């Protein structure tokens, strides 16, 4: 049996489902095929992000933060609580129910936008055909004018620390623990390691994060990274830098981890070990011979700046192609491709993709770090504003961290904005918009920010670039 479409999308994660929806909005006949199966065996749209990534991790970050604040902070506000107890089962039930609501929501969005959602495996055949093996095992071939590959990524697994899903686990397993491990080891102080480490630390685990690289968050501005390191230490998150894990094995009901650092080889015993050493593009059984789609040496599907593969009318978006593995990057690529297919304008500005790490304090940035600007040789100026000087942050009992802006000396262009502090991920939106519109630092200086809000930190950091800060001492 064969069906014909204008567009077939393989993958319904945050890159694939927006592509399908925008194609539907562009009045194209579109189908979106996805094989995601949850641990209870049910199929769900939404990919890694909704089922095992962004959404469940943020649900647990929120719950664990409230738990910790109830225990340690409420009394400062004059709120006396009795004995505070953790009900992990209820917390996990809430996490699962948020995931369910969001993934069911995608099926509803598909319906509203005329997208045919198909649960099953998709394989690209030569001639822009897609062989679908449905959840029921029935095969059918879809013929498409355009195919968009959005098959995402999967955790990197290392033979020297074999994944068993119980003791040596990946991030998905670590989001679904049904008990708080007394001793939790995490390999990798990347975004996943830090976010998950913080969740379980707040819920009571003794957490040790082992990171091979000698500095924390090398991709972030180092003023922000140093501030983060100080706060993580205060929270009891033990991060060992320059500690490369060479092997790990489950022994009885614990895990023995062997790592090396400048002092030599060490052993760490933990109850569970989360391996968070990065993700790799996922293309298993995706491409039949002769499609013309090429992979690079790291396994990413090769595309140009508009996400075109070398095969005519075959496109690829999201984690399976170059660039940061972020949901919002994939979404913009998916929407761009669906618009280009419809003959409309489409472009992604890769220079203004924001990064957010949902730790406490939250970390967010857009554009270049001070280190990158310095290396470029362009003359620059910097402005800082500490949240300690923010009335709103004080009222929130969250007066930690700082906002920093790096601007060009010659034309006042904003080159990078870096925030560590309360709601940094929300605050960075203003900076992204400013940079997208090529705003100068003076533009932000002259923009009225409501008082008292956290957004004043961005305003004050912009003023501080020219030593005009009002609410903090210019340095």
What is the closest distance, in whole angstroms, from the C-beta atom of residue 431 to ligand NAD in the complex? Answer: 16
Q: Is 267 buried (19+), middle (13-18) or exposed (0-12) by CB count in 10 A?
A: exposed
The only residue of 5, 8, 13, 428 in contact with ligand FAD, by rule CB under 6 A: 13
For residue 80, the tally of other CB atoms under 10 A from its CB is 7
What is the closest distance, in whole angstroms, from the C-beta atom of residue 274 to ligand FAD in the complex? Answer: 10
Q: Tell me the three state secondary structure of residue 362.
A: strand
Question: Does residue 369 touch ligand FAD according to CB under 6 A?
Answer: no
Instruction: List the single partner that 193 binds among ligand FAD, ligand NAD, none, CB under 5 to 8 Å by kind.
Output: ligand NAD
Site for ligand FAD in 322-351 (CB under 6 A): 325-328, 330
What is the closest distance, in whole angstroms, from the C-beta atom of residue 326 to ligand NAD in the complex? Answer: 5
Instruction: List the single partner that 286 binds among ligand FAD, ligand NAD, none, CB under 5 to 8 Å by kind.
Output: ligand FAD
Site for ligand FAD in 25-44 (CB under 6 A): 33-36
Question: Does residue 74 touch ligand FAD according to CB under 6 A?
Answer: no
Residue 149 near residue 11 (C-beta atoms within 8 A): yes
Residue 292 near residue 316 (C-beta atoms within 8 A): no
The beta-strand segments (E) located in 193-263 are 206-211, 238-241, 244-251, 254-261
Chain contacts with ligand NAD (rule: CB under 6 A): 187-193, 195, 210-213, 244-245, 276-279, 324-326, 356-358
- Is 451 designated active site? yes
CB nearest ligand NAD: which residue? Answer: 190
What is the closest distance, in whole angstroms, from the C-beta atom of residue 36 to ligand FAD in the complex? Answer: 4
Residue 424 near residue 361 (C-beta atoms within 8 A): yes
The full length of the chain comes to: 475
Question: Does residue 173 touch ligand FAD according to CB under 6 A?
Answer: no
Residue 311 near residue 293 (C-beta atoms within 8 A): yes
Question: Does residue 361 touch ligand FAD according to CB under 6 A?
Answer: no
Phi/psi of residue 356, each to 5°? -135, 135
Binding-site string for ligand FAD from residue 112 to residue 131, where x marks contact by CB under 6 A and - marks none: ---------xx---------
Angle ∠(367,371,374) on CA atoms, nearest 5: 100
For ligand NAD, the closer of residues 213 and 408 by Cβ is 213
Instruction: List the single partner that 212 binds among ligand FAD, ligand NAD, none, CB under 5 to 8 Å by kind.
Output: ligand NAD
DSSP code at position 303: -
For ligand FAD, the closer of residues 334 and 383 by Cβ is 334
The tokens describing 105, both together, are: 């929501």
For ligand FAD, the closer of residues 171 and 400 by Cβ is 171
Residue 416 near residue 397 (C-beta atoms within 8 A): no
Residue 329 near residue 337 (C-beta atoms within 8 A): no
Residue 184 near residue 46 (C-beta atoms within 8 A): no
Instruction: List the single partner that 150 binds among ligand FAD, ligand NAD, none, CB under 5 to 8 Å by kind.
Output: ligand FAD
Question: Does residue 370 touch ligand FAD according to CB under 6 A?
Answer: no
Question: Does residue 277 touch ligand FAD according to CB under 6 A?
Answer: no
Report the alpha-carbon distance of residue 11 to residue 186 in Å, rounded.
Answer: 29
Among residues 264, 268, 88, which one has the least CA distance to residue 186?
Answer: 268
Report the alpha-carbon distance of residue 238 to residue 175 in Å, rounded.
Answer: 20
DSSP string over 141-161: EEEEEEEEE---EEE---TTS
For residue 451, the tally of other CB atoms under 10 A from its CB is 11
Instruction: List the single partner that 328 binds among ligand NAD, ligand FAD, none, CB under 5 to 8 Å by kind.
Output: ligand FAD
**Active-site residue identified among 146, 328, 451, 459:** 451
Residue 271 near residue 174 (C-beta atoms within 8 A): no
Report the alpha-carbon distance of residue 229 to residue 216 in Å, rounded.
Answer: 7
For ligand NAD, the closer of residues 128 and 153 by Cβ is 153
The tokens describing 49, both together, are: 């992000």
Report the alpha-carbon distance of residue 33 to residue 141 in Å, rounded.
Answer: 12
What is the closest distance, in whole angstroms, from the C-beta atom of residue 236 to ligand NAD in the complex? Answer: 20
Among residues 309, 458, 299, 283, which one has the least CA distance to residue 385?
Answer: 458
What is the closest distance, in whole angstroms, from the C-beta atom of residue 236 to ligand FAD in the complex? Answer: 21
Question: Does residue 146 touch ligand FAD according to CB under 6 A?
Answer: no
Instruction: List the single partner that 189 binds among ligand FAD, ligand NAD, none, CB under 5 to 8 Å by kind.
Output: ligand NAD
Site for ligand FAD in 204-263 (CB under 6 A): none
The tokens describing 34, both together, are: 């996805």
The only residue of 49, 223, 301, 406 in contact with ligand FAD, by rule CB under 6 A: 49
What is the closest distance, in whole angstroms, from the C-beta atom of residue 156 to ligand NAD in the complex? Answer: 7
Instruction: List the single partner that 10 binds among ligand FAD, ligand NAD, none, CB under 5 to 8 Å by kind.
Output: ligand FAD
Instruction: List the single partner that 457 binds among ligand NAD, ligand FAD, none, CB under 5 to 8 Å by kind.
Output: none
What is the closest distance, in whole angstroms, from the C-beta atom of residue 431 to ligand FAD in the complex? Answer: 17
Report the alpha-carbon distance of residue 19 to residue 317 in Å, rounded.
Answer: 9
Instruction: List the catalytic residues.
Output: 451
Question: Given the rule CB under 6 A, which residues bind ligand FAD?
Answer: 10-16, 33-36, 47-49, 53-54, 57, 121-122, 150-153, 171, 192, 282, 286, 318-320, 325-328, 330
């Amino acid at each position: 049996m064969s069906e014909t479409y204008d567009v077939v999308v393989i993958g319904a994660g945050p890159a694939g489902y927006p592509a399908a929806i925008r194609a539907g909005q562009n009045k194209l006949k579109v189908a979106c095929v996805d094989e995601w199966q949850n641990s209870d065996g049910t199929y769900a749209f939404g990919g890694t992000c909704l089922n095992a990534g962004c959404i469940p991790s943020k649900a647990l970050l929120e719950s664990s933060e409230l738990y910790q604040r109830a225990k340690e902070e409420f009394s400062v506000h004059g709120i006396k609580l009795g004995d505070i107890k953790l009900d992990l089962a209820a917390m996990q039930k809430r996490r699962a129910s948020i995931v369910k609501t969001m993934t069911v929501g995608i099926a509803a969005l598909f319906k509203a936008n005329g997208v045919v959602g198909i649960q099953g495996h998709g394989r690209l055949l030569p001639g822009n055909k897609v062989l679908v093996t449905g959840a029921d095992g029935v095969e059918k071939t879809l013929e498409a004018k355009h195919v968009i590959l959005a098959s995402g990524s999967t955790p990197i697994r290392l033979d020297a620390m074999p994944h068993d899903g119980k003791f040596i686990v990946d991030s998905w397993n670590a989001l679904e623990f049904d008990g708080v491990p007394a001793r939790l080891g995490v390999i990798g102080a990347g975004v996943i390691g830090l976010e998950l480490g913080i969740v379980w630390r707040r819920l009571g685990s003794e957490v040790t994060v082992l990171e091979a690289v000698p500095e924390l968050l090398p991709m972030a501005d180092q003023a922000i990274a140093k501030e983060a390191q100080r706060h993580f230490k205060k929270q009891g998150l033990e991060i060992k830098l320059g500690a490369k894990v060479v092997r790990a094995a489950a022994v009885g009901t614990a895990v023995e981890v062997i790592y090396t650092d400048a002092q030599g080889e060490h052993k760490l015993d933990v109850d569970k070990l989360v391996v968070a050493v990065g993700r790799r593009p996922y293309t298993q059984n995706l491409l039949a011979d002769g499609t013309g789609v090429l992979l690079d040496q790291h396994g990413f599907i090769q595309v140009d700046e508009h996400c075109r593969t070398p095969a005519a009318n075959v496109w690829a978006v999201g984690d399976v192609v170059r660039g940061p593995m972020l949901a919002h990057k994939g979404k913009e690529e998916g929407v761009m491709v669906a618009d280009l297919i419809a003959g409309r304008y489409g472009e992604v500005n890769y220079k203004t993709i924001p990064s957010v790490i949902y730790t406490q304090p939250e970390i967010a940035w857009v554009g270049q770090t001070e280190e990158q600007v310095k290396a470029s040789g362009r003359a620059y100026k910097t402005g800082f504003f500490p949240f300690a000087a923010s009335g709103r942050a004080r009222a929130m009992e969250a007066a930690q961290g700082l906002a920093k802006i790096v601007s060009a000396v010659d034309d006042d262009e904003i080159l990078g904005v870096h925030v560590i502090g309360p709601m940094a991920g929300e605050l960075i939106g203003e900076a992204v918009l400013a940079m997208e519109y090529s705003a100068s630092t003076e533009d932000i200086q002259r923009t009225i920010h409501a008082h008292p809000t956290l957004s004043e930190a961005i305003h004050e950091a912009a003023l501080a670039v020219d030593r005009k800060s009002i609410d903090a001492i210019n340095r």
